[in-house]
């Protein structure tokens, strides 16, 4: 844990050398979220509810996706360079060090855009909660925190799993993982608007819906299958296990580029 | 001219060599199409809104998808990396004009993109039902607008990629561009849904030509003089950006330092 933060800290210091670059990236991610908010407010200016979901509850889902994505970038951005490292045979260096390979991979970079996504995502969730009628008991607060943590774990696990697919794909770029990441954007809207096949994909195959839709549906008491939200921690454990399995299987396939 | 044609062919060949990447690259635009189709289906099923019925919105989103897919193969990332690595020096010694060469490369993949667009549009129409074609003159103007969209989109991407001469961070520039284009072009939501002042700004910006103009003409929501005026704005921006890009390029070259060689 301490070592992990130290590795990230080193990247952070090197990043701070390029201050404008850092500002551009932070501004760009904030801009993306602003565009999302403008879009949502323009949409909900005309329609009060979308399948029972109000502006504020959909905003919360956008926020949850942004937050989970932000944690993934800030603390685990190195996963996205896995494809490149495999292609170049650079994984060799990690294999000879006495520290879990997956952790070395994920700490190989730090995406400062994650910080702005965490902040904007957090604000969106907070704004959504402020406009909701949840009656808060200590038990509910604890549950909300647990759901939030689980949703982050799911996002990071999916990142690891889809990036680890590069062990089989032999592509130097994380195109596959990035495409799957884009699919996750579908989960920013209530799942009930999609056809059955898509619900199955987002709920089971790539459980993006557990990052935003199910936990928030439970918390806000919206929609028809709220109890599913309680399964979020289970989904998180499942995703983490599958991701670890895929990564380990892939690592066994790894052949160096011959240093 | 032969040199440019060779560059165009190279793009198509590279795209076909990496077919899987090509398809994965389309996912982002496709996801937006699916999500927005689903959202508007639910909303417009009950009643039309701001002059949009469900079949019209479906047509609008399909035009937006087509507009988002053209000129996207092999574009900006390659150019950005060559600038950041200094390989751009090799492009400079080639006896072709840099801007025209990049345009030729972008045009090379066009027929592949058109094939993919027809496929997606065909499937969507088969699943959700047909769309009404505009009458003859409208259709001709729509075709003209889509044609102008190609150089317009190229130029917007090209100019923003030239920013790599000033910053190491191409990702940030690209994200910012995508966000602005998505909103101001009307790809995310038709401009009439935006607050008045924002819609006006977007309408006159170069980005409206990237979705809103061809889509509105296709739907017949604008016709006659108004439609011609929109296309004229589109064309005007192409000219402005084409010559503007030359100025940016000149300034960029003055900043260029390449290590080694």
Q: pLDDT tens for chain B, 261 residues: list them.
A: 788 888 888 888 888 887 888 888 888 889 999 999 999 998 888 888 888 889 899 999 999 999 988 888 766 777 888 888 778 888 888 888 888 888 888 888 888 889 999 999 999 888 887 777 888 888 899 999 999 999 999 999 999 888 888 887 788 888 899 999 999 999 999 999 999 899 999 999 999 999 999 999 999 888 788 899 999 999 999 999 999 999 999 888 887 766 554
Chain centroid to Cα B166, Å, comes to 24
In this prediction, residue B261 carries a pLDDT of 45
Task: Give Cα separations from A56 to A48, A128, A151, B188 (angstroms).
Answer: 10, 5, 19, 19
Q: Is the CB of residue B14 less than 8 Å from the CB of residue B77?
A: no
The answer to whether A146 faces chain B, any CB pair under 8 Å, is no
**Residue B189: phi, psi to the nearest 5?**
-155, 135
The answer to whether A49 faces chain B, any CB pair under 8 Å, is no
CA angle B178, B180, B182 (to 5 degrees): 65
Sign of the C-alpha dihedral computed for residues B55, B56, B61 and B63 taken in this order: positive
> How far is the C-alpha of B175 from the C-alpha of A38, rounded, in Å?
17
Nearest-CA residue of chain A relative to B47? A47
Helix, strand, coil % over all residues of chain A, rounded to 5: 80, 0, 20
Is A255 exposed, middle or buried (CB count within 10 Å of its CB: 0-12, 13-18, 19+)? exposed
In this prediction, residue A120 carries a pLDDT of 94
The contacts found for B246-249 with CB under 8 angstroms, 24 or more apart, are: B246/B99, B248/B159, B248/B162, B249/B98, B249/B99, B249/B162
DSSP state of B45: T
Q: Which of residues 13-52 of B touch A (CB under 8 A)?
A: 20-21, 24-25, 27-28, 31-32, 34-35, 38-39, 41-43, 49-50
Residues of chain A with pLDDT under 70: 257-259
> How far is the C-alpha of B188 from the C-alpha of A40, rounded, in Å?
10
Q: How many domains does chain B have?
A: 1
Query: B-chain residues within 8 Å CB-CB of A18?
Result: 168-169
Query: A-chain residues within 8 Å CB-CB of B49?
Result: 46-47
Residue B261 within a domain: no
In this prediction, residue A258 carries a pLDDT of 57
In this prediction, residue A157 carries a pLDDT of 94
> How far is the C-alpha of A164 from the C-alpha of A82, rounded, in Å?
7
Please report, to the nearest 10 degrees, the dihedral formed by the alpha carbons of residues A20, A26, A31, A33 taken in order. 180
Q: Give the closest-approach CA distance of A146 to chain B in angstroms.
A: 28
> How far is the C-alpha of A81 from the C-alpha of A79, rounded, in Å?
5
Structural domain including B117 reads 2-255
Interface touch B194/A42, C-beta < 8 Å = yes
Packed helices A175-183 and B27-44: angle between N→C axes, nearest 10 degrees: 10
Contacts of A47 (CB under 8 A, 6+ apart): B43, B49
Residue B20 within a domain: yes
DSSP per-residue codes, B213-248? HHHHHHHTSS-HHHHHHHHHHHHHHHHHHHHHHHHH
Interface touch B39/A188, C-beta < 8 Å = no
Provide the H-helix boundaries in chain B: 2-17, 19-25, 27-44, 54-69, 76-85, 88-93, 98-108, 110-128, 136-161, 170-184, 196-204, 212-219, 224-255
Query: At A190, is the secondary structure helix, strand, or coil?
Result: coil
Beta bridge partners of B52: B49
Neighbour count for residue A90 (Cβ, 10 Å)? 16
In this prediction, residue A86 carries a pLDDT of 84
Residue B244 within a domain: yes
Q: Is the CB of residue B99 less than 8 Å from the CB of residue B243?
A: no
Q: Which of residues 135-194 of B touch A (CB under 8 A)?
A: 167-169, 171-173, 175-176, 178-180, 182-183, 188-189, 193-194
Interface touch A175/B24, C-beta < 8 Å = yes
Query: B-chain residues within 8 Å CB-CB of A189?
Result: 35, 38-39
Q: Which of residues 149-208 of A touch B (CB under 8 A)?
A: 169, 171, 173, 175-176, 178-179, 182-183, 185-186, 188-189, 193-195, 198
Residue B46 within a domain: yes
For chain B, state the CA radius of gyration: 19
Packed helices B224-255 and B136-161: angle between N→C axes, nearest 10 degrees: 20
The answer to whether B114 faces chain A, any CB pair under 8 Å, is no
Interface touch A183/B31, C-beta < 8 Å = yes
Residue B120 within a domain: yes
Residue B260 within a domain: no
**What ipTM was reported for this prediction?**
0.87
Q: Is the CB of residue B101 less than 8 Å from the CB of residue B5?
A: no
**Residue A25: phi, psi to the nearest 5?**
-65, -45
Q: Render pLDDT for B122-172 as a digit per residue (tens, 0 to 9).
A: 998 888 877 778 888 888 999 999 999 999 999 999 998 888 888 877 888
> How far is the C-alpha of A3 from the C-alpha of A21, rounded, in Å?
26
The length of chain B, given as a count of residues: 261
Interface touch B189/A42, C-beta < 8 Å = yes
């Amino acid at each position: 844990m301490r070592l992990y933060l130290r590795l990230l800290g080193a990247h952070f210091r090197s990043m701070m050398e390029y201050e404008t670059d850092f500002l551009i990236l932070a501004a760009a991610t904030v801009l993306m979220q602003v565009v999302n908010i403008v879009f949502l407010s323009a949409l909900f200016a005309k329609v009060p509810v979308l399948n029972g979901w109000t502006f504020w509850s959909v905003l919360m889902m956008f926020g949850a996706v942004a937050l989970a994505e932000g944690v993934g970038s800030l603390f685990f951005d190195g996963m996205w360079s896995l494809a490149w490292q495999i292609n170049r045979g650079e994984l060799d260096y990690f294999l000879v060090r006495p520290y879990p390979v997956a952790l070395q991979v994920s700490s190989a970079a730090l995406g400062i855009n994650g910080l702005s996504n965490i902040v904007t995502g957090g604000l969106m969730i907070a704004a959504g909660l402020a406009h909701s009628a949840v009656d808060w008991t200590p038990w509910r607060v604890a549950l909300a925190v647990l759901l939030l943590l689980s949703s982050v774990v799911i996002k990071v696990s999916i990142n690891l799993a889809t990036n680890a697919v590069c062990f089989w794909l032999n592509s130097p770029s994380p195109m596959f993982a990035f495409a799957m990441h884009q699919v996750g954007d579908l989960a920013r809207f209530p799942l009930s608007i999609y056809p059955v096949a898509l619900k199955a994909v987002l709920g089971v195959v790539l459980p993006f819906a557990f990052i935003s839709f199910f936990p928030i549906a439970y918390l806000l008491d919206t929609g028809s299958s709220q109890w599913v939200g309680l399964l979020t921690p289970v989904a998180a454990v499942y995703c983490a296990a599958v991701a670890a399995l895929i990564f380990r299987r892939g690592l066994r396939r790894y052949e160096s580029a011959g240093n | 001219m032969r040199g440019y044609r060779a560059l165009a062919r190279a793009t198509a060949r590279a795209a076909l060599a990496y077919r899987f990447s090509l398809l994965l690259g389309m996912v982002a635009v496709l996801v937006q199409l699916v999500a927005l189709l689903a959202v508007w289906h639910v909303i417009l099923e009950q009643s039309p809104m701001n002059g949009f019925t469900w079949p019209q919105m479906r047509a609008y989103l399909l035009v937006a998808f087509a507009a988002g897919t053209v000129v996207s193969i092999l574009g900006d990332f390659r150019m950005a990396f060559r600038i950041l690595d200094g390989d751009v020096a090799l492009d400079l010694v080639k006896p072709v004009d840099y801007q025209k060469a990049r345009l030729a490369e972008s045009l090379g993949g066009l027929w592949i993109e058109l094939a993919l667009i027809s496929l997606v549009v065909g499937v969507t129409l088969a699943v959700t039902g047909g769309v009404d074609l505009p009458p003859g003159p409208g259709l001709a103007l729509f075709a003209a607008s889509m044609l102008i969209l190609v150089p317009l989109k190229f130029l917007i991407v090209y100019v923003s990629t030239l920013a790599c001469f000033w910053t190491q961070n191409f990702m940030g520039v690209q994200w910012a561009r995508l966000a602005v284009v998505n909103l101001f072009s009307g790809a995310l939501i038709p401009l009439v849904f935006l607050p008045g002042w924002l819609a006006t700004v977007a309408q006159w910006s170069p980005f409206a030509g990237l979705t809103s103009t061809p889509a509105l003409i296709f739907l017949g929501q604008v016709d006659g003089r108004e439609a011609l005026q929109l296309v004229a704005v589109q064309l005007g921006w192409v000219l402005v950006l084409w010559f503007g890009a030359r100025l940016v390029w000149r300034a960029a070259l003055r900043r260029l330092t390449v290590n080694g060689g």
